[in-house]
Amino acid sequence: MRLLLDTHVFLWAIAESPLLKPAMRRVVESADQVYVSAASIWEIAIKRRVGKLAFEGSPVDAVGKNAFLELQVSGRDCEAAGTLDWPHADPFDRLILAQAQARALTLITADAAMCGFIGVAIIAMLAAFAYQKFFNASEKAKEVKDETTK
């Protein structure tokens, strides 16, 4: 199997996050080829720069250190991303989907919006995504409660 990891799945894999469940980790580890898009590297760099992501080191180096393959972005990928018949506007998601479609890669994602795209084989991790959303909301609620009780 040839896989393409969505950005958050790549981050979970290299951080050994519990959000990447053991069964899904086995799928990744048993794949013939596992790609990480250069679009994901770009996304990580941008989010780190604006303070939305804490990431130490080089995402490019992390791809190689974890035996993943970097999937370069071509002009055709960009063109295809722009013409996808899909209302989702996130440029990183559009580019990753276009790459998966053009190369017949199976995408692993926990992004519900991406799971709704027709034309790409997708392994959905929606339970992990729901857990992450719930956990983040619970932490935010706890922070608000702590602030109001001081």
First to last CA, the chain: 53
Q: What is the pLDDT of residues 4-21, one digit of tens each?
A: 999 999 999 999 999 999
| CATH code of the domain containing 27 | 3.40.50.1010
**How confident is the prediction for the chain on average, in pLDDT?**
84
Contact 19, 132 (CB under 8 A): yes
- Tell whether the model's pLDDT for residue 93 goes beyond 70: yes
C-beta separation of 114 from 6 below 8 A: yes
Q: 106 - beta bridge partners?
A: 3
Tokens linked to 110: 């926990």
Burial class (CB in 10 A: 0-12, 13-18, 19+), 26: exposed
Note the pTM of the prediction, 2 decimals.
Answer: 0.81
Label each residue of the chain as H, E or C: CEEEECHHHHHHHHHCCCCCCHHHHHHHHHCCEEEEEHHHHHHHHHHHHCCCCCCCCCHHHHHHHCCCEEECCCHHHHHHHHHCCCCCCCHHHHHHHHHHHHHCCEEEECCHHHHCCCCCCEEECHHHHHHHHHHHHHHHHHHHHHHHCC
What pLDDT score does 126 carry? 67
**pLDDT value at position 140?**
42
Rg (CA), the chain: 16
| Number of domains, the chain | 1
Write out pLDDT tens, residues 31-67: 999 999 999 999 999 999 999 999 999 999 999 999 9
- pLDDT tens digits along 126-140: 654 444 443 444 444
Find the domain containing 121 and state its range: 2-148
